[in-house]
Chain A
């Protein structure tokens, strides 16, 4: 089946720093999405990308849909303590019955 690769499994940064995460696949996706999961809660959609090369921002978050359609990037600028959580990438291939595939997630810790 399709797999999305996210690494490293954990990241530790200092408050105020910028952080970048990427997600890669051997398969082509039609839609890339980034979700964040706070401790004890369900994931929440941060950004959705629908077009190769698309760059989209949501506050301090910026995400890009890779030109090859096989990768996506998420940047968080000026991190704050509430950025702590698990960040999942997800990809949706073309097709009416296509299923969303999630990466294994990156756990982000922010030191005050």
Chain B
């Protein structure tokens, strides 16, 4: 019963480098989401996906790219990392269609951009 897993859990990178955060779920949930958590801002939606090959922007999508070629995977790529992208990133999934708001979160990936 793996559920939803994120990797890496911790990552340090330099400004300008490309970084990919991985997210894998074993439930075959339709919806998957990427959030970032920052002090003073709570959880902000970056991108989400309603199904394989369907993705849409959230509140703070600039500087990020996502893809969803398979239902179970939803990687998040920072094409050219910036210091402002230092954050804790959470992937989540939801089984409802349409979105019920009942999300299952991964444990998070803490990214530091130097």
In contact, A43 and B90 (Cβ under 8 angstroms): yes
Are A97 and B45 interface neighbours, CB within 8 A?
no
Indicate if the CB atoms of B48 and A42 lie closer than 8 Å. Answer: no
- B102 contacts partner chain A, Cβ-Cβ < 8 Å: yes
Contact B107 A88 (CB under 8 A): no
Chain A: interface size category:
20 to 34
Segment among A14-22, A63-71, A101-109 that sits at the interface with chain B: A101-109
Q: Is B75 an interface residue (CB 8 A)?
A: no
Interface residues of B, count at CB 8 A: 26
Cβ of A102 and Cβ of B101 under 8 Å apart?
no
- Using A88-B42, A100-B45 as known contacts, say yes or no to A45 and B107 having CB atoms under 8 A apart: no
A90 touches B101 (CB 8 A): yes
B62 at the A interface (CB under 8 A): no
Identify which of B44, B59, B102 contacts A48 (C-beta below 8 A). Answer: B102
Q: Are A103 and B58 in contact (CB under 8 A)?
A: no
A1/B59 in contact, CB under 8 A: yes
Chain A's nearest CB lies how many Å from the CB of B78? 20
List 25 A-B pairs, Cβ < 8 Å: A31-B100, A33-B101, A40-B108, A41-B107, A41-B108, A42-B92, A43-B43, A43-B90, A43-B105, A44-B105, A92-B99, A97-B98, A98-B98, A99-B45, A99-B48, A99-B59, A100-B45, A100-B99, A100-B101, A100-B103, A102-B42, A102-B43, A103-B42, A104-B40, A105-B43
